[in-house]
Structure formats: structure tokens, C-alpha cells
Structure 1
């Protein structure tokens, strides 16, 4: 078993080095060590075989990290061999690596942009690789330097194939991912709405995404964002999905309030009829001191400016 593993590791090293077209210099791996099996006597060999048969090997779910040297090799950008194989869409190489790293922490290694292999598989639109990575134990909850999970990226890029795989495998994490905002305060639903992927918006809500979730910057819902974008089709889709037309931003504005000064009168008409009557008026701005406010006696002493008592 050790001989087979050693042979496979060095086979991957050689192939991946040839595959590296990014011209990134990899750290040198340790030299291959001869197993010495051929030099054993027959009795010694049989004894080793008997001992190996009695060994209790850990199951594939054990997650202690691999000790093979090639798993520690990275480029100057922090990319592992697996990252490179996926970036270059070298599927055969990537599959070899994934098979050797089932349920291992190596699969979740992040590069300098904090991208995992799963992020890169979505970015390069490789749904089959997304499927393999998830089934091998990749964590779909990990985020990149912008706070995006792989599903956030699929929603941003409109990759329906990757979206489908991500929402059908490891669904135990799906609810938390759907409610998780990235570092801009946007959930997957907000991102899909902003990019006008209507079918994806519908799927997200059907999967359990909160259609009235507020983005964290100003408290706008997807319906507020649709008005900002002047996207009538998106407004209709969100209303049909149960969006609350009376939802208020942190500043107290309904989606209808955001139609003022905008060109699409149809959006304004659609929201006017659905908005509660008491919420149709624009909210009052915070009170500010008026220029006509009465001043104290000290404030009124500066009608005439005196210099040196004159």
C-alpha cells in the first residue's frame, strides 16, 4: 500500500509540473524513496504482509491533513497543484489529486485571495468539478477575500449549472449559506437580483432564501434594489414571490419612495397601489436647526464688530 501511494504521489508531481502553464515556480519536492520490497527475503515479506492484514486503517472520513510533501507546494499566489489543475481546466490531473485527498483538509486550502478549489471551479464554470469537490468533502461555506461563498460567485456569474450542483449537494449547509451576507452586505438573492438573473432569483426563494432579507449597508431588500435598477420584470417577479412592498430601509423608505424622480412610471404605479396608504408619504427628514431660530443674547452681540474697543 505504501509503495502504491508513493508511486502515485510522484506520478502526480511529474504530471502537474508539466501541466503548469502559469509559469509559476513551485517549491522542489522531496526525492522519491525506494521502498526496498524487492530486497526482502520471502519469509520476511510474508511476515510483513500478515502484519499489514491485521492493521486497522482509519476510514476516509478522518480529517487530519495529508503528510505528502506535494500537498504543501504552493505558488507565489498561494495556489496548490489542485488550484492550478482547476484553473487550467486540466480535469484528469484534478481528478487524480481529488481521489488522493478524499475528506482531507487539503481540499479546502485557500490561496492568497482566499479562494478554495471550489471557488475556482465555479469561476471557471466547471460544474462536474464542483460536483466532485463537494462529494470529496469541500466545505461550501468557506468565503474568499470579498466574503463570497462559491454559491455567491455562481449567483454573480449567472452559472446555472454550478448553481444547480451547489444547491443539490451538501444541502445541510444550504440554509446558512443562503442567509449569509458577503462583505458588501449582500446575500446570494441580492446578488442574483442585482445581476438580473430572474430564474435564479425564483430558485433561491424556492430553496428558502428570505425574499425580504435586507442588505446590511442601508437596509434595502431585493425589491428596493429592483426599483433602484428600474427593472420592471424583476419588480414583478419579486412581488409574485411574496416581497413585502411595505418593507422599510434603515432610513424609513419603502420601495415606492424610491420611485420618485425615476423615469419608469409603471413601477411607481405598481407599487403605489400595493403600498399601505399611511406609508405613501415621504418620511420626514431629521430636524435641523433653522436659520431663523432665536439666538441667545451672546449670539446677538455680533451685529457690529469692534476692534480695540472701537
Structure 2
């Protein structure tokens, strides 16, 4: 599932309307005629104009929701993939009559070259229906440009295969050089989807056929909420994926785009001692500051989390750093004895400011 950043406030989800869709440039891929579109529409369930109920919502901030490609394979459908697979006849036909060879080939070609009113190719549909073997046949048949076609939600087949946890389909797509950098309507690459949904096996398959340099570029990419793959793995407390990304060279100190939080800041906000310890042990910068100057220690003290504040202090957190409000972590302790015990009181202070080092 595509990408650009837009700053917002700290926890806000940013919905950019910027069009990052990539046109395939394949002229042979045509829209369905009205009769075909009617059949596919029935297969998808009611559209926004047909009914206001029974919709499978996936993206809340999209005005017109879709049923099939919105990362769901469980929608009600009168559409038969078996019928479609039979029509495609990817296997060798048994000695068809010569008079029908040309007509049959044209029908197969038209079906394979079809794009539905929702922007889905037959490959999108095969993956949505979790017809892995059929999808793998199509991947082998189609050129790379077709594999990278994005539907109306900017989802590529790779996005969908990752969401639906079809690692063998992911493997075949990446082997055929399908792009791992394209972003969906939320700015997510397929690797973002893997980190958000916990698709470890799919993430592993993505790294086998691409260079470390290309993978490093994907790790830097932010979705429209400003989050990298590492941030998403941290937010979902997926330690296994976190370790995987670290092993692949993810920058532990990369800042998300809205407020400048690192994965360590997020771990502190989640009160996740395990993740804080993991990040510190792997070399995360304990004094990394957000855009407002707050360090992880500021956040821990402000949230009255003495345990994590203690972990940060043990890792050498600077207790005297000030944020943009000119506050140290101590200023945020708010009388918490457990946290105050972490701070020395042998300094001379005037109005809360340390005057150590002043010559009298």
C-alpha cells in the first residue's frame, strides 16, 4: 500500500490528498464494459450509491468506501473465482477446434487485460480471494508494469498479498521485481503494512530479492502520518519485527514526521519496559529530543513512570536537559517521591535552576 509527509500535531493522523498514484502506462488494460461492470459490482456488494448499510469500512476518512480492495477478503460476494479461473484457461486447452482458436484467445486476453471500475486487475482479485496458486500463475504471466498497477485505493498486489499474509505470493511478486516502494492511500508501503499487521514472514520475503540499499530507502519512508516501518512496529509492540528491522539496518533514532518522536519516545509513551530496554540495549540515543525539545526522560517523568525513568537514568539520560518550555525532567516530577529520588539534591539551585559551577 504509497508516500509524502505532512506535519501535524503530536498524535494526529494526517490525511493528505496528494496524488502519489503511479500510472502503469499499459494501454492494453481496459475498463470493463457496462455489462461486465454490473457483474463485478454485484460481486463486491452494495456501493455507496446502492446502500448505506452493510459496508466493510477500512479507511474511516475516505468519503466513498470500497468493499473488495479495502484489505478484506471476507466480504459477501456472488462472484466466483472458480468461474473466472475457468474462463482464463491458463492451462493448455485440449486440441480446441481451429475455428475457435482465435476467438478464444481474444476472450482470454480481454479478461486478463481488464481493469474493474475500482481499479483492480484480475491479479488484485485473485489475491483478495486468497487464490494463491492462481495469483502465482498470473504473476508468472504478467510483465512487471502490470504487477505494479495500483487500484483506486493505490494498493498494489504486493500490498494486498502482505495484508492477507500470503508470503509465497509476496515472494513471487518480489522475485518478478514488483516495487516495494509504492505507497497506498495512507502512504504505507507493503513493508509498512507488514509492520502494522505483524506479517513477519512477508517482511522476510521482501528482503530476499532486493538490495540492502533499496531496503534502507524503504526503511526511511514515512506514511502520511509521518511514521516509518520502525515506528509502526514499535506502536504495535512487535518485538520480533523490531529486531528484524534493527538487524536490517533500521535507524533507531529516526524521527516521525509530526512531532519528532523516535521509537524510544513511543516506547516510553506506551509504558513498554521491554521495548525501552531493547532499544537502549541496541544503542538508541537516550537523549534524543522531539521537535519541542522533550527527551524520553521528560516523557517518562511527565507520565509518572518511575520504572522507565529509572531505566533511562541508568542508561545515562541527561537530567538537566531543557525542553522548549525551559523545563528539565525534574520540573515535571510533580512531587512524585519515587521519581524525585532519581535526582540529586546536592546542587545549589535558585528558582529551580542549577547554579553548579558559578564562581562566588
State the partner residue of 1:257. 298
State the partner residue of 1:191. 232
State the partner residue of 1:276. 318
Q: Distance in 2 between matches of 1:22 and 1:242?
A: 50
Secondary structure of 1:278's aligned partner: coil
State the partner residue of 1:63. none
Render the CA deviation track for 1:135-189: whole Å, top value 9, x for unaligned. Answer: 1221111110011110010000111111111122223520110111111111100
5+ residue gaps, structure 1, are: 1-16, 30-36, 40-66, 287-310
Q: How far has the Cα of 1:270 moved from its partner? A: 1.3
Q: Is the 8 A contact 2:163 2:194 kept in 1?
A: yes
Q: Is the 8 A contact 2:181 2:189 kept in 1?
A: yes
State the partner residue of 1:178. 219
1:69 aligns with 2:110: yes
Calculate the TM-score normalised by the size of structure 2.
Answer: 0.59
Secondary structure of 2:118's aligned partner: coil
5+ residue gaps, structure 2, are: 1-39, 44-75, 81-86, 88-96, 100-107, 328-360
Calculate the TM-score normalised by the size of structure 1.
Answer: 0.69
State the partner residue of 2:260. 219
Render the CA deviation track for 1:59-78: whole Å, top value 9, x for unaligned. Answer: xxxxxxxx943344223322
Render the CA deviation track for 1:116-135: whole Å, top value 9, x for unaligned. Answer: 00000001100011001111
Q: Is the 8 A contact 2:246 2:252 kept in 1?
A: yes
State the partner residue of 2:150. 110
1:97 aligns with 2:138: yes
- What is the Cα-based RMSD across aligned positions, in Å? 2.8
More helix by share: 1
Q: Is the 8 A contact 2:132 2:166 kept in 1?
A: no
Render the CA deviation track for 1:256-286: whole Å, top value 9, x for unaligned. Answer: 000124243110111134212432x555359
Q: Distance in 1 between matches of 2:257 and 2:79?
A: 39
Q: Distance in 2 between matches of 1:180 and 1:236?
A: 25
1:81 aligns with 2:122: yes
Q: How far has the Cα of 1:83 moved from its partner? A: 0.5
Q: How far has the Cα of 1:24 moved from its partner? A: 6.3
Q: Distance in 2 between matches of 1:203 and 1:89?
A: 26
Secondary structure of 1:260's aligned partner: helix
State the partner residue of 1:306. none
Secondary structure of 1:167's aligned partner: helix
The higher radius of gyration belongs to 1
Match of 1:231 among 248, 269, 272: 272
Instruction: Evaluate the alpha carbon distance shift between residue 271 and residue 38 of structure 1 in structure 2; reply closer, same or farther with a 3 A threshold.
Output: closer
Secondary structure of 2:130's aligned partner: coil
Q: Is the 8 A contact 1:127 1:162 kept in 2?
A: yes
